[in-house]
Amino acid sequence: MEFYVNKNIMKTKRIFPKQNRYNFYRFDMNENPEGLPKSFVDSVLKEITPEFLATYPEPDNFVAKYATYMHISENNVLTTNGSDMAIRYVFETFAKESSEVVTVSPTFGMYDVNCNILGLKHIPVEYEKDLTINVEKILNSINKGVRIVVLVNPNNPVGNVYSRENVERIIKRAKEVGAIVLIDEAYHYFYPNSLIDVALKYQNVIVLRTFSKLFSLAACRMGIVISNPTIIHYLRNARLTFETNSIALLFGERILENQGLINNLIESEITGKKYLVSELKKENYVYLECEGNFVLIKPKYFSPLEIEKVLCLKKRILIHSYESGILKDYFRVSIGSEKMMKLFTDAFFDVDKK
Ligand SMILES: Cc1ncc(COP(=O)(O)O)c(C=O)c1O
C-alpha cells in the first residue's frame, strides 16, 4: 500500500555531518576545538540532580537573565533548540509554499535545506569573483514574491560583514514588499558589532544568536531569537512547548553569570587568530581573514581536498574544504586557542610542502 510522503521532504537532499569526531582535533565546523574550562563544566554538572532531569524545562529564568545581559526586554527574547531550529520556525511562520527567500551564496547550508523542506523558492545572490558581495544585487533581488531576506553577519563561510547603512537599505526595501529580514549573528563576539539595535527599531527584523560558537555549547543546542514582541509572539506560537532543554538553559545561565569566563573565551580566540594569521603571513600563504571564528586558506602545493584528507589520516585534524564553487581553492579552518592554532599550523606546514 502506498503512503503519502510530503513531496518537498521526499526531494530534499541532505548531507549529514561526519560522525566519530571526538578523537580528532576539530577545526571543521566552527566549534570551539577545546570547549569550556573543565572546572566550570564540572561545577555546573554538580547541579544536575535526578529531580532536575525529571522536570520539564522552564526557560523563563534564563530568558530574564539573557534579557538583562543584553539590555533588552524579556518580550524580545525566545529560546530555540539551536539557531538551526529558529531558522525553521522563522521560515514556517513568515513564508508559505513558493514564497521566495533571498540569501547570498555561499552561506550557511541550512538556509537552502529549510527552503527545500518547506517548498520555498531559494533566490541565491552570488558573490563576485573577488569574494565581495554586491549589495545592489541583494536589493534588486527583493521583489514582490520575497517573504524573507537572510543576512548572515558575518557570513559563513566567506566571513564578510554588512555596513549598518546597507542593512537599513535592505530592511527598508524588504518592508516595501512585506518581507522579514533575518540577521544571523552566530559569529557575534568574534565580530564585535551587532545589529540588534537596528533590528528592534523596525517591525520586520529578526536577529539570531547561538550558544554553539563562542559559548562552546554546540552539544546542548541553544539558539536565541531577538525581535520585537509581535514577532516573538508569533514564533512562540510556532515553537514546541519544551523547545530548549534544561541542561542547555542551566549552562546558558551559568555562562551569563560569569563575565570573566566570557572575556577569557574572547581573548583566547583573538590570540589564536592573531597567531594563525602571523604564521600564514610568515609562510607567504594566500588567506582570507574572515570576521568569524574561521579563516580561509589557499594551500600552495596540494588541492584543499587533498590537504583535508592527509590532515585527517595522518594528523587526526579535521578541516573543511569545498568541492566546487567560488571557494574551491580554499579550505576553512576554525579558530581555537594559540595552542590549538600552533598544533594546526605545525601539521599543515608539514603536509603542504614539496
Ligand atoms: C551562520 C550560522 N547560523 C546558524 C548556525 C547553527 O548553529 P546552531 O548550533 O545554533 O544550530 C551555524 C552553524 O554553524 C551557522 O554557521
Clarify whether residues 48 and 172 are in a common domain.
yes
Q: Distance, CA 41 to ligand 1 centroid (Å)? A: 22
* Probe residue for ligand 1, chosen from 187, 191, 212 as the CB with the greatest number of ligand atoms within 8 Å: 212
Residue 212 CB less than 6 A away from ligand 1: yes
Clarify whether residues 159 and 217 are in a common domain.
yes
Residue 218 CB less than 6 A away from ligand 1: yes
Task: Say if residue 1's pLDDT is above 80.
Answer: no
Specify the number of domains making up the chain: 2
Percent of the chain with pLDDT over 70: 100
The mean predicted confidence, pLDDT, of the chain is: 97
Does residue 151 sit within a domain?
A: yes
Clarify whether residues 172 and 142 are in a common domain.
yes
Clarify whether residues 190 and 301 are in a common domain.
no
Does residue 102 sit within a domain?
A: yes
Residue 152 CB less than 6 A away from ligand 1: yes
Clarify whether residues 292 and 238 are in a common domain.
no
Which letter, b or e, does each residue of 264-291 get, where b requires 16 or more Cβ atoms within 10 Å of its Cβ?
Answer: ebeebbeebbebbbebbeeeebebbebb
Q: Distance, CA 210 to ligand 1 centroid (Å)? A: 7
Clarify whether residues 61 and 162 are in a common domain.
yes
The number of C-alpha atoms within 13 Å of 293 and in the hemisphere containing its C-beta is: 34
Residue 108 CB less than 6 A away from ligand 1: yes
Residue whose CA is at the smallest distance from ligand 1 atom 3: 186
Ligand 1 atom nearest residue 87's Cα: 4
Residue 216 CB less than 6 A away from ligand 1: no
Q: Distance, CA 186 to ligand 1 centroid (Å)? A: 6
Give the separation between CA 315 and CA 345, rounded to whole angstroms: 11
Task: Say if residue 326's pLDDT is above 90.
Answer: yes
* Probe residue for ligand 1, chosen from 79, 210, 294 as the CB with the greatest number of ligand atoms within 8 Å: 210
Does residue 14 sit within a domain?
A: no
pLDDT of residue 296: 97
* Probe residue for ligand 1, chosen from 156, 190, 211, 332 as the CB with the greatest number of ligand atoms within 8 Å: 156
Clarify whether residues 236 and 154 are in a common domain.
yes
Clarify whether residues 105 and 238 are in a common domain.
yes
Does residue 8 sit within a domain?
A: no
Specify which residues 26 forms β-bridges with: 318
252-259 mean pLDDT? 98
Q: By residue range, what is the domain housing residue 81?
A: 38-256
pLDDT (tens digit per residue) in 158-212:
999 999 999 999 999 999 999 999 999 999 999 999 999 999 999 999 999 999 9
271-287 mean pLDDT? 98
pLDDT of residue 354: 86
